[in-house]
Amino acid sequence: MTTDNPSVTQWGQSYNFDGFGNLTDQNVIKGSAPEMHVVYNASTNRQTGDTADLNGNIGLNYVYDIENRLLRPGTAGSTTQQYGYDAGNKRVWRGSASPALDEFTFWAGNQKLATYALAVNGSNVRHTLTGTNVYFGGRTIAKGAYNAGGTNDKVTLTSIAQDRLGSMNGKFYPFGQERPSATTNDKEKFTGYFRDAATGLDYADQRYHAPGVGRFLTPDPYDGSAGPGHPSSWNRYSYVLGDPVNGSDPSGLLTLIIGGFQPFGDSDASFGAPGTEFNEAVSNFFGEAAQTFTWGGFQFGPGADLLAEFISNYSFAEGEKLNIVAHSWGGELAKMYTWMDGRQIDTLITLGTPQRSDININMVGVGTYLNVYSKHDRTQKLGGPWFLFPLTILGAFTFPLPWHVGSAGRTDPCAINIGIDYTAETGNVSHGDLHSAPVWNAMEAWLVRAGYGLSPVDLNAEYCRPQAYYPPPEVALDYWNTNPYTGGPW
């Protein structure tokens, strides 16, 4: 990256990657910047000189627990740092004998509230505040420190400014090295990761990140984020698929992209596969690599059951969110899921989903609901309830054929409805254009103009909680499961 502002120090880097997305070279092309040249073993996916345990966790003599969480970095004696975690994989304790440290961290979901140092003196046990964070709209706006000399408030707050990737307390090169030079650690730095002074590693909420290397120490446990069309996504160690300028990986999130109607075979969500422009746009919006979900493409009931099973089998850490982006009939699937006894959808975004009279959404099961539509999308208006369409062959044989025909609406009274009819890249927005990066970018621009900001946590949807639905949701689900090819009995 280079800058053309002559009043600031200019620098530039170029990067090389191997076939599986490992960062092998950082080359200085202007000014002063970090330089790196390494080689990876294609058979082990490890850097030359690296060692790993049988689960692929990297580090010479590093000790990991059965959940692949780092307990102790390095050989005992070379570092005495140790870590402890809660059931949601949040690091809640770190300690060492020299220098003496016995520190506990308190969390609220994904937000780190405060850390306290424990000290024992005879029969006295003392907890001293070592740091606290203040949040607004999901972002850190201030850091607090204990002020023993304070007369009233014992906590002194200092304002914090995060950049668009969440970094604070300094400036950083794209892969995490601090610039122009390193400052004191044991604080949040690159993309909000906590940089440990004892190791120089970033505690990245669910894993540890090695600054400047473009890799985590442990593989990504969520295999669904890999796509066959993008080899880099199969590298379970890489940081944001090698694109640190446009993305970050602040914590574990489950973001699903769901395709729509497919009469013969599984739903097609290839438009959202890792490596596509649409996937990158969605991943950047939510700050986590999105993955695709495939269903039968033809039967709502079994498809909703499959979605519920997939979500229930996913190992959510405490505070992790569920985001769903669904095109066309994939949105109907997500709406049916909201009536099931499953995890709440934090953010649901439907694109060109036919707003049918026979499938309603249960907003008790949804945090924020956005519906994007286009007046040029003919498929959406024809995507209403099924009809048995008579098909006659050679004038002799007539039999009913279920087909995707019927009146449907474009907007949902429960949603923030966003009409995008035209973009410079697509022209008039068609049904297929609604799952394109230009339309997604236009949606983000609309949210900014409407005052919602870019982060899903800033969206203030009006909740839609009607007293009764007709048909009752359990009847609708039972019917669609047993009679997927015809309209309901109502």
Domains, in order of start, for the chain: 45-216 (no CATH), 253-482 (3.40.50.1820)
Q: Confidence band (pLDDT; 50, 70, 90) for 104?
A: very high
Q: What is the mean pLDDT of residues 104-124?
A: 85
pLDDT at 324: 93
Mean pLDDT score across all residues of the chain:
78
Q: What is the mean pLDDT of residues 216-240?
A: 70
For residue 77, give every residue at least 6 positions away whose Cβ sits within 8 Å of its Cβ, in sequence order, or none: none
**Minimum mean pLDDT among 83-97, 111-125, 236-250: which range?**
236-250
**Residue (of 324, 326, 364) closest to 347 by Cα position:** 324
- Of residues 171 and 154, more confidence is placed in 171
Residue 449 burial by Cβ neighbours in a 10 Å radius (0-12, 13-18, 19+)? exposed
For residue 64, give every residue at least 6 positions away whose Cβ sits within 8 Å of its Cβ, in sequence order, or none: 53, 55, 57, 70, 71, 218
- Cα–Cα distances in angstroms (integers) from residue 485 to residues 188, 293, 334, 400, in the given order: 54, 22, 18, 11
In this structure, what DSSP letter does residue 230 have? B
Strands 345-351 and 322-327: what pairing? Answer: parallel
Q: Confidence band (pLDDT; 50, 70, 90) for 105?
A: very high
CB atoms under 10 Å from CB of 312, counted, come to 12
**Minimum mean pLDDT among 97-106, 114-123, 223-232, 308-317: which range?**
223-232
pLDDT tens profile 277-288:
898 888 877 767
Coil, helix or strand at residue 310: helix
pLDDT at residue 320 tops 70: no
Q: What is the mean pLDDT of residues 241-251?
A: 65
Instruction: State how far the Cα of 202 lies from the Cα of 20, in Å rounded to an integer.
Output: 23
pLDDT at residue 467 tops 60: no
pLDDT at residue 461 tops 60: no
pLDDT at residue 342 tops 50: yes
pLDDT at residue 223 tops 70: no
pLDDT tens profile 364-383:
778 888 899 998 888 887 77
pLDDT tens profile 177-207:
999 878 889 999 998 899 998 889 999 887 8
Q: What is the mean pLDDT of residues 166-178?
A: 90
Q: Confidence band (pLDDT; 50, 70, 90) for 474?
A: very low
How many percent of the chain have pLDDT more than 90?
Answer: 25
**Minimum mean pLDDT among 11-25, 223-237, 455-469: which range?**
455-469
User: Is the four-CA dihedral 266, 271, 272, 273 of positive or negative sign?
Assistant: positive
Q: What is the mean pLDDT of residues 50-73?
A: 92
pLDDT at 475: 37
pLDDT at residue 225 tops 90: no
Residue type present at position 409: G
Q: Confidence band (pLDDT; 50, 70, 90) for 36?
A: very high
pLDDT tens profile 391-406:
455 555 554 444 455 6
What does the longest C-alpha to C-alpha distance in the chain come to? 98
Q: Confidence band (pLDDT; 50, 70, 90) for 480?
A: very low
pLDDT at 146: 87
CB pairs under 8 A, 24+ apart, for 283-286?
Answer: 283/247, 283/255, 284/246, 284/247, 285/440, 285/444, 285/454, 285/456, 286/253, 286/255, 286/323, 286/347, 286/456
pLDDT at 226: 55
